Structure 1
Amino acid sequence: MTQTRTHGYLLDPRPTGAGSSSDAHAAASAALYDASTFRHFERLGVGPGWRCWEVGAGGTSVLAWLAKRVGPTGRVLGTDLDTARAAAAARPPIEVLRHDVSVQDPPGEGFDLVHARLVLARVTDRERALRTMVKSLRPGGRLLVEDADIALQPLACPDEHSAAQQLANHVRGGLYSLLAERGADPAYGRRLPRLLRETGLVQVEAEAYFPLTSPAAAALETVTVQQARERLVNRGLVTDADIDRYLAQIASGTLDLSTPPMIAAWGRKG
């Protein structure tokens, strides 16, 4: 999400809107991360009648899971800057609203659960966004934040045993350079437990999810590189030939592609 004065997000997976390549990005992210997210939801006890706010609802899979779990007596609010995809799921108990958590007040209060995945590390005012989410919780409500920690493990291929893996790590480094230029925090994930406690949340816990190789990771890497290709080349971070070779290597299925550890932290409002 491009850094502008009109909203608080740092990087935008262009182009946006339903039917665009962002659909492929949302699908790949869901395939890679949803099982872990849903396991956390189950641990937190999400059930009938819960009021849930999904921050950064770029896709529909999390909204659909929450809607099934809370049932007709619950509420699921999905917010994002681009609501084109989420709008496809906008039927009771799901509501969809355009909202910028980095600069706007909460879209409501009294939520039993607020969840954000891969949102906070990419907004310009992370502190305000976190306070906004905590403010929206009812007493006893739960906040679950999931964000990657790039600095913990920055390599696309930790087993760098040939030129193919070296190229993968070179391109991944270019992607991270783009994020760094826009102010993303590469070590944000590890800070989450402390930050949640500093907002006043109690019973704070955290864990990391770190797949070393999977088809979903390869799919997500492919669409991410394709979306960022123009910016990578224009900035001189990689060449078109580098990207062509890298995409071909991913398609061959011979690279063990990893992702940065996804840190999930959760706590309860006292």
Structure 2
Amino acid sequence: MSLTVTAPPHTRPRLECGLAVGFGGGRRVPIVAEHLEALRASRLLYGQESDLSAVAAGWGNPYGSMAESVVAGLGLRREADNQDPDSDVDAAIIAYDAMDCGPREHLGCRLTEVTRGRPRTFAVSGQGEAGPFTAMRIAAALVASGSARRVLVLMLEHGQVPLDGGLPAPASDTAVGFVVGTRGPVRLAGVEVRPSGRELPAPDRPAPDQSAQPGLAAWAELARTLSSGAEATLRRTEPAFGYRCELRVAP
């Protein structure tokens, strides 16, 4: 798979805003045996025996409540009045690695109900750490093509479940959200997802080593520093599937 977004300058997508939220140790959620077995099976699919004791004990933050916290924090929660069409979101993309720790719910439908503009919603999963890059690529393509004015990208991870590729579980449940549109402090200079056998072009300046920051740590840092308008590069080699990924932002 080789996926690259290259938009003309006048339609090049920009990151309007970002937000990262950490969720501590979680709260008790009802766990049913069927869901726990499905989660265990999803790990075995990639040849991984994972310690799911925390999930089995009923601890965790369901993806639905995590997603709603980001929607509210970005000012995108749908309200009965003060409906400004310019603040609507046309599409929402959810990227996650591990399955939801809570009971299965229709997360896309829930997100459509609570988000301004009632966006069409879909998910990117089963790609490990390449998932967020793919989600950003799709969002950029939707905006660049004129298919959407604003796209919400939600990245979700659980601290109770190890990541694909044998990486350790994140320190906590984390949700990161970005709004991709045509305004904002930085433009998306490039989003690439390629097989590891093909080298990515060297960025204009050395990219920080993200190897010590598995999961969403680097994305959370980008969300926190987005308003500065600084140039930044996120790079990752996905260990389970071998994709080489890169995202570049510039003023």
Length-normalised TM-score, structure 2: 0.32
Q: Larger helix proportion, structure 1 or 2?
A: 1
Q: Which has the higher contact order (CA 8 A, sep 6+)?
A: 2
Q: Larger strand proportion, structure 1 or 2?
A: 2
